[in-house]
Structure 1
Amino acid sequence: YASGLGVSGDLSLLAALLDLSLFFAPFATTAALKISLE
């Protein structure tokens, strides 16, 4: 049971990181494009 909790915790952490990366991806892409175009 404890291992099940650990797995779900890891999955929720990964999901949160994925959400953050998807949220910040457009900003990072725009910044990278601006830098590469200069």
Structure 2
Amino acid sequence: MVLVLVILGLIFMHFVFKFVKTCALFLLLWHGAFKVYY
């Protein structure tokens, strides 16, 4: 049972990290484009 919770936690953390990284990349790209155009 504990092992299942650990595995679920790792998978959850992996998806959260990927989501945060994608959001950060999108914000950086948007900020860069905003700076270039204006």
Match of 2:17 in 1: 8
Moved over 6 A (4+): none
Aligned residue for 2:23, secondary structure, equals helix
**Structure 2 unaligned spans of 5+:** 1-9
> Can you give the 5+ residue segments of structure 1 that lack an aligned partner in the other structure?
30-38
Question: Share of identical aligned residues, percent?
Answer: 14
TM-score, structure 2 as length reference:
0.68
Please report the RMSD computed on the Cα atoms of aligned residues, expressed in angstroms: 0.8
Question: What's the TM-score, normalizing by structure 1?
Answer: 0.68
